[in-house]
Amino acid sequence: MLSKWWPFLFMGTFATSAFCGDSIKVGIGSDMIDVIGYSSGSLSGPLAPIYECVFDDADLEVNYTEMPLKRGFKYLDEGKIEALLPLAKSPIRDRRGLFAGELFVADYVFVALDSIAVLEETVDLRYVAPRGFIGSELIQDHDAQIYEVTEWSQAVSMLRYDRADVAVLPELLVGKLFDHDTVDLYQRFAGTLPISLYLADKTQKTSVASAVIAAVKNCSVDNFIQPNLLR
């Protein structure tokens, strides 16, 4: 389905000024498993075209830097970057920046190796999700034990070695993460969230922010159709 896509989930040197002419510093999650990345001066991965559409439409010169998501939020707070992507919208994140609007949506799932853990919504489960990932916000049990890991593959290992009961993952990454496993997987729908990028708070009244928000609307999946963005 066209509207269901990755979410879905950064090292470098930064100048102290927020903007330099019509340019923007953008952080890209470094752990997105080939979904989107930056190398040799350009974006790569299936999500590259839709984000390139945004910045081309906004007529901005973009300086990209890859970094872990948690560090990306820190740099967004400090103004070392003006935008961070790809990110799902959430109330917690809304307190840290300005969501630029919906580009596409993504489904998230609870994944377990034991059917009881996900199918019967058992309480007192041990959850695992990558650090900085929105998955922990989808867990309804506020007293749940949640382990944070640095990489997606570590969440899989936590399940495999019985150190966690349930992993919270973007649905479209499940097949890739468990590609070589022969174990039975059990999934339960966790939620659907809008995906786009967040802008730093201090950019909210700038022309650059206005241009990005307008470009996101123009480049949303409903308007931006390419074969490699279809499931």
Q: What is the pLDDT of residues 130-169, one digit of tens each?
A: 888 898 899 988 888 999 998 889 999 999 999 999 999 9
Quick: pLDDT tens for 5-18: 444 332 233 333 33
Q: Residue 36 is part of which domain span?
A: 23-105+193-229
Domain with residue 197: its CATH number is 3.40.190.10
Residue 182: pLDDT band by 50, 70, 90 thresholds?
Answer: low
Is the domain of 100 the same as that of 199? Answer: yes
Is the domain of 198 the same as that of 171? Answer: no
Tell me whether strands 166-170 and 104-112 are parallel, antiparallel or unpaired. antiparallel
Is the domain of 57 the same as that of 132? Answer: no
pLDDT of residue 13: 32
**Overall average pLDDT of the 35-47 stretch:** 88
State how far the Cα of 206 lies from the Cα of 217, in Å rounded to an integer.
Answer: 17
**Overall average pLDDT of the 81-96 stretch:** 94
Q: Which amino acid is at 83?
A: A
Contacts of range 201-209, beta carbons closer than 8 Å, 24 or more positions apart: 201/96, 201/97, 201/98, 202/18, 202/79, 203/18, 203/19, 203/82, 203/83, 203/98, 204/98, 206/18, 206/19, 208/19, 208/22, 208/24, 208/58, 208/60, 208/82, 209/98, 209/100
**Overall average pLDDT of the 109-129 stretch:** 85
Percent of the chain having pLDDT more than 90? 58
Residue 197: pLDDT band by 50, 70, 90 thresholds?
Answer: very high
Tokens standing for residue 16: 């102290």
Q: Is residue 208 part of a domain?
A: yes
Q: Is residue 131 part of a domain?
A: yes
The Cα diameter of the chain in Å comes to: 56
State how far the Cα of 98 lies from the Cα of 85, in Å rounded to an integer.
Answer: 12
Residue 85 above 60 pLDDT?
yes
* Number of compact structural domains in the chain: 2
